[in-house]
Each structure stands twice: as C-alpha cells, then as structure tokens.
A and B are shown apart, each in its own frame.
Chain A
Amino acid sequence: MKSNWHSWQTEIYAVFQKEWRSESRSLSGIMTTALLCLVSVVIVNSITWTTSINPMIASGMYWMILVFSASISLPRTFLQEEDSRTADFWRLMARPEAVYWGKALFNIAQMLLATTLMSIAFLVIVKVHVENVGLFIAMAFAGAVSIASTVTLAGAIASPASSRYALSTAISAPLLIFLINLGVTGTATSLGEFLKSGENGAIGMIAYAFATCSIGPVVYSKIWKG
C-alpha cells in the first residue's frame, strides 16, 4: 500500500519536475501569463483612470483578466508535448493519472503565482480597496486552482488536434465562463459590494476546484490513448 502510494508520488513528482525544468530554461510560460495579466491590468487602468469603478465592475474585470490569461497560456503543458512529439513517450512510460496530476500541479503552481502577481498589480494600479481580505484571498486561491485544473483538462482534450492552440482556448473559455460568475459574486463581496450570497461564491468555487481535480484525471485516463 505504502509502496503503491510512493510510486504514484514518484511518478507525479517526475512529471512536475520535468515541467519545471523545461519551464526554468526559458520561463516562457510564466512570463507569458505574467505579461498577459499585467497588460490587461494596464488596459483596465487606461480605460477607467478618470473614474472610480464600483466593486462589481472591478471584480468582473479581475476575473476576465485571470480567465483569459489562463486559457491562453496554461494549456501549453499538454500542447507542447504534441509539438515536440514526446506525448507518445509519456504514453509508454507513465500512468495517465500521474501525467495529468504532474501537469495539473505545475499549472496550479503557475496560476497561483500569476494570480498573486496580478492581484497585487490590480489592487495597486486600479486602486481598488479590499474590505474582506480573507474572502478575497480565498476567492483568488480557489479560482486559481479551478481555472488551472479546467484549463489543464481542456489542453489535454485539444492536444491531439492539428489546430490545438486555438482549439484549447476555444474549448476552455466556455467551461470557464461560469467560474467568472462565481468569482465575481465572491470577489465583489470582498471589495465591499453587498450581495446576499457572496460567501457562497467562494464555497462554489472551492467545490468546483475539487470536482475538476477529481474528474480531470479520470477523463484524461480514458482519452489519452485516443
């Protein structure tokens, strides 16, 4: 039992480490996500610099930036395997669940970093005041995990297609739209908007993060050999 758990751990860690090593050579994934987030925050600021935006609009923009930056930059963990023709190597060497978890954990780590940087930039540049810091952090954390796990699965589904980059964005965005909805409710409450069920947004987001993290490996294990 213990050795089985250890072998899973080793496989997942190996995939994670491989992702980290290939990322650390160029940092292109993290840089792309960070740049997309920063450019979006600057655009929001340049549009709204003469007016103060209300918490609802501010949280809507915050989630739009997060979701679209993630749906463009995160699926590459699976897509680059097809580009570099190493996907078949994984199919021979590792269990699908381990591959999925390794890549999902890497995406979650990347997304948490991007969310932290983007939140700081957003709060400072757009000048938004946070009323409930705990709820804001909970929403950002749960949102990052939900977005990363959903986009990882979308990337895995789109990876065998020829137009995989456009397709992964096209199929992950619809799956994430309703997360914007949940996110806006919770984040707007944390920014001072009075909503009846602001905290429910955080609960919904955490529940969705659990659901996608559970469904993702199962679906991936069924689709990965085509």
Chain B
Amino acid sequence: MERLRKILLIVGIPLATFHSYLVPDAANFQSPEFARIFFWHFPCPIMATLLICMGLYFSMKYLQTHDEKWDIRSSAVHELAMIFIVLTMISGIFFSRIQWGWWWQNDPRQVSFLLVMVIYLAYFVLRTAFTDTGKRATNSAGYAIAAFLPFLFLTFVYPRLPQILGESFHPTDTIMKGNLKGGYAYVTIELMILVSIITNWIYNLRSRAGILELEVENYGHDIQNTRSSTTDTPVVRRISVSDES
C-alpha cells in the first residue's frame, strides 16, 4: 500500500502538472497562462476546511475519552490545516499580484481566510503555553471547539453576505453551477485527489510518530511504576517548622 502510494505520487504529480499545461489558457484573465495557479490554490482551502472539521471531531473525542491519542490526532490535523491555510494565502497572494494587480486586494475572501489563520495560530499559541500535557490537551481541545463557530462563519457565511458578495473578486459558485468544465475540471479533480493522498500520508506519519512517542514515554513510566511497586514503603522525612509568628 505504502509503495503503491509512493509510485502514485511520483508518477501522479508530474503527470497532473504536465496535464495542467495541456489545457488551453483560461479566458478573461489578465495573464491567462498564470491562471493555472488556481489548480494548486483551490485544493488548499478545501483541505484546510476538511482538516479543521476533523480537528473538531478529534477534540470532542479527546474531551469525551481523555485518551491522549485523540489529542495527538487533533494536533496533527490542526498542524496540517495551518500548512494548507498558509499555502492558500501564499498562492492567493501571488494570484492576486498577477491577475488583479497588487499583492493584497482586501478581497473579503482573502481577509476572512487571514482571520481564520489568526484564529488557528492562537490554537498553537495556547498549546505552547501549557507544560502539563493533560492541561495542554484539554484546554486546546476546548479552544478548538470554541474556535469552530467563528471559523464556520468566516468560511461559509461571511463571503456570501449580500454586501460582501458583490465586492469579492472570488467567484462563489463556479463549481456549483458547473462552470468549471473540460480540461480545467479534470486537472482540478486530479490535483484534489493527489493532494488528498499526500495529506492522508503526512497525517498518518505525523499521528503515528506522535502515538509512538507517547508509547515510549508511557513505557518508561511503566518500568518506573513496576520498580517503585517492588520497593518498601516510601521514606517519610521529618521536617522542622520554624515558629516565627
């Protein structure tokens, strides 16, 4: 399975990239040849959204079970989501510069995704603030649940508000109305599949590494516990309390 995935990626990515250059240049763009950034830009916010939804589920599972494996999974998907948010921002900024004339257009979608990035950066700031792993896991899971509502609003509601809809350069329903056709649709689907496979692969590696790390730590504790259980009763030292008051 692992080998098949490697082969698929080694062959698939160059083929999809090559295919993206075979489709004709997009119409109605300032630099039609660079409209191909879309193929790499589009899967990033979709993957980020999916990963954040998974993060919510893993966080809820952690709070239900207090099993650290769910926290490792939650942290892994949030890390990946952040990578995709950053990639969305970078590819979007380049697209904005090339097609719309300037790096930052204050486009509502750019702004809303920037806010999503800030919200989930706070998740990592929160994680770094706790040294105790249990408290870190519990409180960051609580934050992930609290952050999901603003995330939903910024991703799905805000860009579709009537006063925002007309202001954005981003088309809102190209796919829903079936306006993404022919070669463009095929390349988009190919890259969506490839990016999903890569994401799944990285997620598996990251969460497996985290769970192994946890098992190694627990293994050490188990040995300590076994040793301590064989010793006699613990030593109690007498302490003197000065009577200064």
Residues of A within 8 A of B (CB): 150, 153-154, 156-158, 160-163, 167, 170-171, 173-175, 177-178, 181, 185, 195-197, 200, 204, 208, 211-212, 215-216, 219-220, 222-223, 226
Contacts and interface: CB of A to CB of B under 8 A. Distances in A.
Given A158-B126, A167-B129, A208 B139 contact: no
B35 interface: no
A129 B147 CA distance: 35
A181 B119 contact: no
B175 interface: no
Contacts of B63: 219, 222-223
The listed residue with most A CB atoms (<10 A of its CB), out of B121, B141, B143, is B143
A100 to B, nearest CB: 12
A163 B139 contact: no
Given A177-B115, A185-B163, A167 B135 contact: no
The list of the 3 closest CB pairs from A to B, nearest first, reads A161-B129, A222-B63, A223-B142
A157 B140 CA distance: 8
Given A215-B145, A222-B138, A170 B125 contact: yes
A187 to B, nearest CB: 14
A211 B149 contact: yes
A167 B126 contact: yes
B119 A175 contact: yes
Contact of A222 (B142, B149, B153): B142
Interface of chain A: mostly helix, strand, loop or mixed: helix
Interface residues of B, number: 31
Given A174-B115, A174-B119, A177-B115, A219 B146 contact: yes
A25 B145 CA distance: 35
Interface string B50-73: 000000000000010000000000
Contact of B149 (A173, A185, A215): A215
A226 B135 contact: yes
A183 to B, nearest CB: 13
A157 B163 contact: no
A152 to B, nearest CB: 11
Interface stretch (B95-103, B154-162, B219-227, B232-240): B154-162
Contacts of A216: 146
Given A171-B125, A197-B163, A223 B115 contact: no
B121 A174 contact: yes
B146 A215 contact: yes
Contact of A161 (B121, B122, B130): B130
11 contacts: A153-B142, A160-B135, A163-B129, A171-B125, A177-B150, A178-B115, A208-B153, A215-B149, A219-B146, A226-B132, A226-B134
A162 B161 CA distance: 40
Contact of B162 (A158, A197, A212, A220): A197
A120 to B, nearest CB: 28
B177 to A, nearest CB: 22
